Structure 1
C-alpha cells in the first residue's frame, strides 16, 4: 500500500526542529563567526531530532578533518582547576564521576559533553535505549533484554513490501504461523525444518570442531551455504539480530546465533551447559539468563556539568593536565589533576596527539555501530490495541522494529549499518549514509510504516500522531570482538589491550576499551580508569 505525503500528515503544520544535515553549523567547522542558536523547547505537536545532530558532531568532525584549529583561535584559560575532568556523560562518564567522589568525597569534578542536554527517562523494558541518555557516552540498543535471546522477543513479523512485494503481518506466537508467511513454499518448508527438525549439518565432527566451523560463518552464510535454505527463508530471517546488535544476519556470527537460540542448530548435538569459547563476550555473559543491567548512577549534585561543550584537546603537563573545550564561541581551558576520557575511543587520538602511535592505531580501530530510535506519541492508541500484538519485527523496511509502550507510545528502531560489509566497515558506511539522510526522510518513513502497520486497524497517520522524536546516534553501540570478523578472538592479543591504560594523568574509559556493546562494559571501564589514576 502506498500513501501520499498528504495522507501521511507530512503537510500538517507542526514544528519541525531541524539542523542542516551533513553541514557543520558552528563557527569552527564553517569558518563563520558566531554559533547557530538553539531553538526553544518544542510544543507538543512536533518532529524533533536529538542525539548526534550535526551541531553535536560538527566540532569532532572538524577535528578529524583537520579544519578545527584553523578557525578556533587561541585557547582562553578559565582559571578553573578541578581534581577530575570527565569527558563524556553517558554510563561510563557518570560512573567514573561517582566512583571518584566515592573515593574522594571533597573532590572537585567537572563533566563535559558535546550534546546539548543530559536527560533521564525510564529504561525501555529493563535496558537503556539510545535516547534514554542524551550524551556522547555509551548506549544500548532499543528492545527488551529478551531481544538478546533471539526471535522470541517479537510476537509478530511484518513481511514487508521491501522484502516480499507486499505487506503481510504474521503473528509468530500462534500455531502454524510459518504456513501463513507470504514466501515461496520451498522457503516455508525450509523454515519448518530449521525450527522443528534440523539435521546434524556437520556429521562426524566433534563438538569443538562444529563450534570452530560455526565460528567461521555468519548466520546468513550458515543458512545459505550449510543449510541450503531458500533465499526467501534467509531473507525472512535477516533482521532477527538487528534490534539487539545493530546489524543483521549478514554480519551476525553463526556461533552467536547458535548461542542465542536461532533456528537451525538443534541437530548439531551441542550441549547447552556452557557457552563456546568462540561466543562473543555479551553472549557468554547472558548464557545462564538475562544478566543484570549495570545501574547508571544518578548525577551527583557535586559534579559540575557543561553540555554543548565538546572537548578538543587534552594535554598532560608537569603539574596538571590541561583540558580544552569549545563553548560555541571559543576554546576554553581548565586545569585538572586527572582526566578520564569516557568518550568514543576513535576520537581520543585527536584529543591527545602525544599518545604513542601503537595506542593511536588501536584506538582508531574502535568503530561504533549507528542506531536510530524514534519515539512516537499517538493521539489515539486504540489502533495498536486492536492490532493485538506488542512487538513487531520488519523484514526489510527502514525501521526494523516497532514496539508499543502503554499508554500511547510507539518506539521504533532503525539500524543503518551496511551489514553486508561486516560490522566495522558496514557501520562506517552506514553512518556516512545516515548523516546524509534528510530529517524529512526519517519523518516520512516513520509515518509510512505506522500507516502500513496500523492502517488496517483504523489508524490515521495524518491526524493520529501527536509528536515524533528521533534520537540519531551515529556512534551508538561500542564494537564487540566476535567471530567470524575478528580472527584474534578469543585468544588475543586484542586491540583494546593496546588502547587502554594510563597515560600520565589521563585514563581511557568507555565501553570501547573493554570492548563490549552493553552498558555494563562502560561501567567496568570507568571503574578501571579510576583505579588506574588512584594515588
Structure 2
C-alpha cells in the first residue's frame, strides 16, 4: 500500500443501492462528454458549449449561479482547460483574433486572488485606470471558490479551495494594508470563530480504518496517549507497539550525534526512510502515515523530509533533542525554526472566496452589496455586473488568454496585444500593461518573447493537484453519537472528513444542535509511486483527475462516511443532501522542500528567474512566491504592478514563506 494512494474501487449494484447511489438526484458530470482533443474545434465556434460572446453583459457564466452547482464536479473542468490543452498540444496556433475595439490601461490574466490584488494595486496608483481581467473559469476567485447548498430551509456555505487567511502576524505591511482597504480586519474573526464549539460538545478527532486496506473496519477516537487508543486499531501487534513508542516515548534514534548533525541528516531523509531505516518501525506504519503530509506539502511521506513531517505533527522526533519544533503552517522547507503565533481561526464560511469578493467589490462596486465582513459572506455576487459596457473595470470569465505580445520591440513598445478565446472564437484587445497572474507553466505557451533560461525556470513550478469535496448532510447526530469532529482515513481514497469550521457571521449561523444541517469537508491529493520525482508525482495525480467522474467521487464519499460513521447511525442514502466536488487538477503552488530540492533554502531559487518581467509585462501568482497561501498571492500581485509602474508602497514579503526577519535557519 505504500507505493501510491488508493484509487477508486470497483462498484457493485448491491453496494450502490446500499450507499444511496440509486436515489434520484440531479447529477451533473462535467468530466464526461468532452474529449480534450475537441478543444481546437471549440475555438472555431463549433462546439455546443461555445455560447459566450466576446464581452459585455449577458447571462452569468457557468449557469444561473456558479456557487450553487451541487451534485457536480466544478472548478477546473475539461471545458475550462480545453483551450489551453489545445494550445499545449499544438492543436491551436492563435493569430491576432478579431479586435473587440477595446483598449485598457492594464490587462490581468487570471482572476484569482493574485490577479485581483494586482488590479487593486494598479487602481490604487491610477484610480481611473481601465482594467480587464481574463479567466478561463466560470467563477471569479480562482482556487478561492465558494459552494452553497440549500438544506432544510437553510443556506449552507462551504469553501471549495483556498481555505483561510493564515497567520496574520506574518502578513507583510502591503497585505495588511490591502485587506484593510477592502474591509477585511482579521482580528474580527476572534468574534466570528467559535473556538470552543467542539470542546463544548465533547468532540475530538478520530481515525477510520477501511476494511479494504486494514482487513477490518474500525473507527477509533484519538486521545492524548497513543497507548489508550492504538490497541483498538486493526494494526499488527508490532505496528501497534511501534506507533505507541513513536508517539508516547520516542527514543533518540541517532545517538552520538549533535543536534545540528541530526537536523542536517533528517532534513535530507524522507519520513518514510526515517520510519523504516532510522526508527526501524514496522512497514505497516508507512501505509498508516503515507498521506499524513499531503495537506500541507502536497506529497506523501515518501517525498517529504523528516523535519517537515515533524513540523506537520508526525511523531518520533520528540526524544532526539533537536530543539524547538518547527511549525507546519509556516515552514515549507522543514529547515526553519519558528512558532506560529496565531490560532487557526481566520476563516470566512466560504474560505478565501470572500477575500476575492471583497476585491471584486472594490473594483466593481455594483457586483457585491456594500457592508461589513459579514456582508461579504452572506450576499450573493451579481455576475451580470462583472463585464458591463462602460464600466472601467471588467472581469471576463470563461476567457482563456492564448497570446500576449508587445506591439513592437519589448524595450520600446508602448502597448501589448492580448488575444483570448471566448465563445468559440478568438478576440484581441490592446493594453498599456499586462500582468500575467496565471500559472507559471502557462506563460511559455502564451508568449514567445522569453529566453529559454526563463522558460525552464517557469516550468519548474508544477501545481499540486487536489480535490476538495463538500457534503451537505441533513444533521450531524452521528458525529455527536461517536464523539467525533473529524476522521482521517489512512490508506483510503479520501484523506479524511471534517465538520466545517464553526464560523458565524451576521445572519449566517453555524450549526448549533445535532439536528441542524452542516457541511462536511473531504480532501484528496493524488500522487504517484515513490520512484517518481516529486513533480512527476503531481503529473500522475493530475492524470487521475482527468479519468474520474462525479459518480466515482460520490461513491467513494458514501463509502467513507458509511464506514466511518455508520456505527453512530449514519446512512448515506438518507442523510446526504448534496455533494459538490471541487476539482483542481492544477491546484496549489508547489513549495520547495528537502530532500527533493537541493537548492533550497540556499538558492538560487527558480522563482527568482521565473518571475522577471519584461517590457510592459509583469508576472504574478502564488507560483512567483513558491508559497501556496493567500497572503503570498497578494504580495506577488502587488510586486508585479510596482515593477510595471516603478512605484512603491507598504513593504511586501518577497520570500517563499514568512518574512525573513521571522526566520532562523537550522545550523546557523
TM-score under structure 1 normalisation?
0.88
Q: How does 1:483-502 map to 2 (within 5 A)?
A: 483-502=594-613
Report the alpha carbon displacement of residue 260 of structure 1 after superposing the two structures with TM. 3.5
Which of 401, 418, 422 lines up with 1:311 in the alignment? 401
Which of 112, 136, 143 lines up with 1:114 in the alignment? 136
* Distance in 1, Cα, partners of 2:66 & 2:105: 37
Report the alpha carbon displacement of residue 50 of structure 1 after superposing the two structures with TM. 0.6
* Distance in 2, Cα, partners of 1:376 & 1:167: 22
* Distance in 2, Cα, partners of 1:184 & 1:103: 64
* Distance in 2, Cα, partners of 1:313 & 1:65: 15
Closer/same/farther in 2, CA of residues 247 and 345 from structure 1, 3 Å limit: same
Deviations 1:468-497 (A, max 9, x none): 100000011101110000011111111111
Give the structure 2 partner of residue 57 of structure 1.
81
Q: Secondary structure at the match of 1:513?
A: helix
Range with bigger deviation, 85-94 or 36-45: 36-45
Give the structure 1 partner of residue 287 of structure 2.
235
2:21 aligned with 1:24:
no
Q: How does 1:29-44 map to 2 (within 5 A)?
A: 33-36=46-49
Report the alpha carbon displacement of residue 287 of structure 1 after superposing the two structures with TM. 3.0
Give the structure 2 partner of residue 401 of structure 1.
496
1:156 and 1:391 in contact (8 A); partners too: yes
* Distance in 1, Cα, partners of 2:484 & 2:64: 37
Q: Secondary structure at the match of 1:425?
A: helix
Specify every segment of 5 or more residues in structure 2 that has no aligned partner in the other structure, as ranges.
1-10, 52-61, 149-157, 165-192, 196-202, 347-351, 365-391, 408-412, 501-510, 512-516, 647-668
1:15 and 1:42 in contact (8 A); partners too: no
2:305 and 2:595 in contact (8 A); partners too: yes
2:20 aligned with 1:9:
yes
* Distance in 2, Cα, partners of 1:366 & 1:162: 35
Q: Secondary structure at the match of 2:448?
A: coil
* Distance in 2, Cα, partners of 1:259 & 1:489: 17
Give the structure 1 partner of residue 458 of structure 2.
363
Closer/same/farther in 2, CA of residues 323 and 446 from structure 1, 3 Å limit: same
2:326 and 2:334 in contact (8 A); partners too: no
Give the structure 1 partner of residue 552 of structure 2.
441
Report the alpha carbon displacement of residue 122 of structure 1 after superposing the two structures with TM. 9.2
Which of 333, 340, 349 lines up with 1:288 in the alignment? 340
Report the alpha carbon displacement of residue 243 of structure 1 after superposing the two structures with TM. 2.6
Report the alpha carbon displacement of residue 460 of structure 1 after superposing the two structures with TM. 2.1
Q: Secondary structure at the match of 2:281?
A: coil
Q: How does 1:470-489 map to 2 (within 5 A)?
A: 470-489=581-600
Give the structure 2 partner of residue 533 of structure 1.
644
Give the structure 1 partner of residue 504 of structure 2.
none
Q: How does 1:140-151 map to 2 (within 5 A)?
A: none
Give the structure 2 partner of residue 130 of structure 1.
161
Deviations 1:266-311 (A, max 9, x none): 12111118789x9535884963334886965521215310100011
Report the alpha carbon displacement of residue 384 of structure 1 after superposing the two structures with TM. 2.9
Closer/same/farther in 2, CA of residues 154 and 79 from structure 1, 3 Å limit: farther
Closer/same/farther in 2, CA of residues 92 and 399 from structure 1, 3 Å limit: same
Report the alpha carbon displacement of residue 234 of structure 1 after superposing the two structures with TM. 2.5
Give the structure 1 partner of residue 206 of structure 2.
156
Give the structure 2 partner of residue 418 of structure 1.
528
2:249 aligned with 1:197:
yes
Give the structure 2 partner of residue 138 of structure 1.
none
1:92 and 1:342 in contact (8 A); partners too: yes
Q: How does 1:150-299 map to 2 (within 5 A)?
A: 155-173=205-223, 175=225, 176-272=228-324, 280=332, 284=336, 287-290=339-342, 297-299=358-360
Deviations 1:418-447 (A, max 9, x none): 262343111011101111122221111112
1:339 and 1:505 in contact (8 A); partners too: yes
2:404 and 2:416 in contact (8 A); partners too: yes
1:14 and 1:45 in contact (8 A); partners too: no
Deviations 1:127-149 (A, max 9, x none): 9751779xxxxxxxxxx9x9xxx
* Distance in 2, Cα, partners of 1:87 & 1:326: 12
TM-score under structure 2 normalisation?
0.71
Q: Secondary structure at the match of 2:216?
A: coil
Closer/same/farther in 2, CA of residues 63 and 122 from structure 1, 3 Å limit: closer
Range with bigger deviation, 228-237 or 18-27: 18-27
Closer/same/farther in 2, CA of residues 128 and 469 from structure 1, 3 Å limit: closer
Which of 109, 121, 143 lines up with 1:99 in the alignment? 121
Q: How does 1:516-527 map to 2 (within 5 A)?
A: 516-527=627-638
Give the structure 1 partner of residue 92 of structure 2.
68
Q: How does 1:321-340 map to 2 (within 5 A)?
A: 321-340=416-435
Report the alpha carbon displacement of residue 380 of structure 1 after superposing the two structures with TM. 3.3
Report the alpha carbon displacement of residue 235 of structure 1 after superposing the two structures with TM. 1.9
Q: Secondary structure at the match of 2:586?
A: strand
Report the alpha carbon displacement of residue 261 of structure 1 after superposing the two structures with TM. 3.3
* Aligned residues between the structures: 512
Closer/same/farther in 2, CA of residues 281 and 200 from structure 1, 3 Å limit: closer
* Distance in 1, Cα, partners of 2:21 & 2:27: 11
Closer/same/farther in 2, CA of residues 339 and 27 from structure 1, 3 Å limit: same
Report the alpha carbon displacement of residue 177 of structure 1 after superposing the two structures with TM. 1.2
Q: Secondary structure at the match of 1:331?
A: strand
Closer/same/farther in 2, CA of residues 232 and 91 from structure 1, 3 Å limit: same
Q: CA RMSD in A?
A: 3.1
2:31 and 2:73 in contact (8 A); partners too: no
Q: How does 1:438-477 map to 2 (within 5 A)?
A: 438-477=549-588
2:206 and 2:487 in contact (8 A); partners too: yes
Deviations 1:318-363 (A, max 9, x none): 2201111111221111111111111110010001122111111111
Report the alpha carbon displacement of residue 239 of structure 1 after superposing the two structures with TM. 2.2
